[in-house]
Structure 1
Amino acid sequence: MPITITEEFIQSLASSKGDVLEAETLPPECYTDANFYEFEKEALFTHDWLCVGREEWVKEPGDYFTTSTVNEPIVVARNRKGELKAMSSVCQHRAMLVAEGSGNARGFVCPYHHWSYSLDGDLVGAPAMNKTCEFDRKANGLPNFKVEVWEGFIFINFDQNAAPLAPRLTHVQEAISGYDLANAEGPRPDPAPRLMWNWKVMFENNNDGYHASRLHHGPLHDFVPSEQASFPDAPKGAAGYLRFNGTLHPDASFNPTQKAVLPVFPGLSDEARNRMTFANIPPSLSLVMTSDMVIYLIIRPDSPETHYMDTGVLVAPGAMADEAYEHKMEMIMNSTSHIIAQDWHVDEMVQLGLRSRFAKRGRYSWQEGAQAQFNEWLVDRYLAEWDRRDPSAVGAAVAAE
């Protein structure tokens, strides 16, 4: 049965914050419960920046693509002025979606009753509505969202009052600046699979240094030992965090040679070429970065125990022009597919375990430092959301003023 979210439950989450050697894992209900998922949607996804894609997917005026997260259908377009726009793709008449897939268009026409919208979301046509009382065309445009581009990634925010994203990612941007991701190249990802586990299980696995030398033991991963994981401190209020993992040789890469086979990103320092870098901007973007390739993971929940994940790759400018590019990439992806299969099997089994009456709040190893940073980000937002909706907290705040 769904839990009742109480003051006691929310306050208990604070024990997941702080030093990784003192913290404990979040309660299993945070990964399985329908009521908590609804609370979490408001706490995180309504007010935080969500990655939805790459800027190169909408290069020209009229280019658009569609996506969704937490069951909100979204269309991203470049208008005639060259500006990026993100908006709901839900027609304001009878909720039909006005756009599907991707392409280039002069605007969006609802196929149901032919209400038409500009690339900015303005309602420009509504057939046979002239007799409808007090119908205001200007009040029936597609709801627009805030948009920000960071390192070539498009982020949206449902909250029009949200603070900018980039100033809170300075430490992450400095750590990955050698990749120059805004100018990196890569194909559009294939359609995302629906994965049968909670989105946080996925986000945690992406950043878990503890399991790497154990689950992935063998020639495809042993050059990235868990013992060489490190977790730089994130500034207070940061919107992201990092994990570094030293490698046994420079320019290590996930393929049978264990070394980069694609061109190395030219701006990387010697320090960056002797490690793998994991950059995380919760709740939606994880980056796995080697010297010759970046794998990006865009996570999009759709229920308490399922999510979609767009998986793409970025390479150095010019790398895709190599006649052998496809063959080299095939070699890399054959190796990474083995690692991904191991991860996904574990993720599915973790979700099954989290449903058990015997699942409990566990303790962390020092090699799970990224989980403590993720918890810090999460719990701060859970507590803030509880304060927003708790009348006693509101009353106390007013009295203090």
Structure 2
Amino acid sequence: MPADLLNDAFFAGLSTSTEGFETAQTLPPACYVDGDFYAFEQEAVFNHEWLCVGREAWVMEPGDYFTTAIIGEPILVSRTRKGELVAMSSVCQHRAMLVAEGHGNTRGFVCPYHHWTYGLDGALVNAPAMEQTCGFDKGDIALPRFKVEVWLGFIFVNFDLEAAPLAPRLTQIETALAGYDLAGAEGPRPDPGAQLPWNWKVMFENNNDGYHASRLHQGPLHDFVPSAQSVFPAMPDEAAGYLRFNGTTHADASFNVTQKALLPVFPGLTEVDRNRMVFANIPPTLSLVVTADMVIYLIVRATGPETHEMDTGLLFAPGAMADPAFSHKLEANMTAAMSIIAQDMHVDGLVQVGLRSRFAIRGRYSWQEGAQIAFNRWLTPRYQRTWSAIAEQRVPA
């Protein structure tokens, strides 16, 4: 998209994506493929929103840490000796070397390049051979800190130190997930995901799309979650996420060949919970697929205008993993889940190809795509507010 198409008319036109499904249009294809728009989007969305980076269970002990990256920003999360959860940049403040990789337990972070050493809280504690550098005071230097918040066991960070808290804007989603006690759920640490060749929004739209379920996934591995039983609850204007409830054809449905839960059902579920699945999105990074016996969480990490990485994790009811037959039961679930995910990934890649085409247009919605409109209603005000702020800065005083 030529840069001159990023103008007042373009952003005003996005409002049609927030209307009811009867009249709404999809976002312009340029929002998914254009480098200039992605650069704008980093400021409009990622620089000021809460970004999920992992689970608190990964950093429970003093010295525990892990690293990740979103929009190219290297992120380091650690637990200090005092028990504080800290999120910060992993970029050394000397020559920009990364001070940590992967995950583990440590007493501090030593830059491998020149051995500048930082505490678990990011404070610089040692800088060799700097005594002859004029005005150098290691007390003035630290790894830049981010805001951090834990919600239902998930760690979120925010680059904007003035950002409003996250949890108060997720009360409706938290209520919907109460029976699963996600803060106490158990699961292994996922491996970092490989890079995927489609825009992060394509991934979000697919994860919570009720329309395609009975079509793309038609067959015994998914027919118990029919598209016709999709429900899209209205969300408050200030909400930080959105939901899809999808009724199931029987209680305790799960993704395996038996169509029934093989693992222990989450003990706090109501009768309503046991007869539906919940799909919850907290953009721009966290998407949840919630069944009676297993939660799949997807941490979506944008890397470019047409690429992202995705970490795929699993959560189970407390004690489920202690069952000697756990691995066999999980294998049955994951065989079905991975078959479905493979179908999704195939079409996501083709959607990205189509979005690049000169023939890609702003399409129309079915009533079964209520989650897409909810996503648009989350995105569009952020785009429009940021564009207005940029436009005001261009106006001569």
Coarse TM-score class (shorter-chain normalised): over 0.9
Partner of 1:13: 14
In the TM superposition, what are the counterparts of 1:2-401 in structure 2 within 5 Å?
2-4=2-4, 5-391=6-392
The separation in 2 between residues aligned to 1:102 and 1:390, in whole angstroms, is 42
Tell me how far apart the structure 2 counterparts of residues 20 and 52 of structure 1 sit (CA, whole Å).
32
Q: Relative to structure 2, which stretch is displaced further, 59-68 or 132-141?
A: 132-141
CA distance in 2 between partners of 1:318 and 1:392 (Å): 56
CA distance in 2, matches of 1:139, 1:269: 54
- Cα distance in 2 for partners of 1:394, 1:239 equals 31
Give the CA deviation at 1:14. Answer: 1.2
Q: Distance in 2 between matches of 1:394 and 1:122?
A: 41
Displacement of 1:394 in angstroms is 7.9
Distance 2:105 2:395 in 1: 48
Tell me if the contact between 1:293 and 1:313 (Cα under 8 Å) persists in the aligned partners: yes
Amino acid at match of 2:21: V
- Residue identity matched to 2:366: S
Alpha-carbon distance in 2 for matches of 1:160, 1:191: 27
Q: Distance in 1 between matches of 2:56 and 2:19?
A: 36
CA drift at 1:133: 1.8
5+ unaligned residues in a row in structure 2: which ranges? Answer: none
Q: What's the % identity of the aligned pairs?
A: 68
Once the two structures are TM-superposed, the CA of residue 205 in structure 1 deviates from its matched residue by 0.1
CA shift at 1:107, angstroms?
0.6
* Aligned mates of 1:298, 1:259 — CA distance in 2: 26
Amino acid in the other structure paired with 2:3: I
What is the DSSP-based 3-state SS (H/G/I as helix, E as strand, rest coil) of the residue aligned with 2:314? strand
- The runs of 4+ residues in structure 1 deviating greater than 6 Å are 392-395
3-state SS, counterpart of residue 300 of structure 2 = strand
**AA partner of residue 51 (structure 1):** C
Return the offset for 1:2: 4.5
Distance, in Å, in 2 between the alignment partners of 1:30 and 1:74 is 26
CA distance in 1, matches of 2:358, 2:84: 51
**1:136 CA displacement:** 3.1
Deviation string 1:67-103 (CA, Å, 9 cap, x unpaired) is 0000000010000111100000000111000000000
- CA distance in 2: counterparts of 1:394 and 1:65, whole angstroms: 44
- Assess if the C-alpha contact under 8 Å between 1:86 and 1:147 holds in 2: yes
Q: Is the 8 A contact 1:2 1:34 kept in 2?
A: no
Deviations, residues 13-45 of structure 1 (Å, cap 9, x unaligned): 111112122210000000000000010011000
User: Secondary structure of 1:156's partner?
Assistant: strand
Q: How many residue pairs were aligned?
A: 396
Within 2, Cα distance between the matches of 1:214 and 1:116? 55
> Do the aligned residues in 2 keep the contact of 1:388 with 1:394 (CA within 8 Å)?
no
Secondary structure at the counterpart of residue 219 of structure 1: coil
Give 1:278's aligned amino acid: F
The 3 A distance-change label for structure 1 pair 333 and 394 is farther
Query: Counterpart of 2:263 in structure 1: which amino acid?
Result: L
TM normalised by structure 2 equals 0.98
Amino acid at match of 1:118: G
Aligned mates of 2:23, 2:136 — CA distance in 1:
59
SS in 2 for 1:148: strand
Q: What's the CA shift string for 1:126-152, capped at 9, x where partnerless?
A: 111111122232332100000000000
Distance 2:2 2:202 in 1: 19
Distance 1:124 1:394, change over 3 A: farther
CA distance in 2, matches of 1:365, 1:291: 28
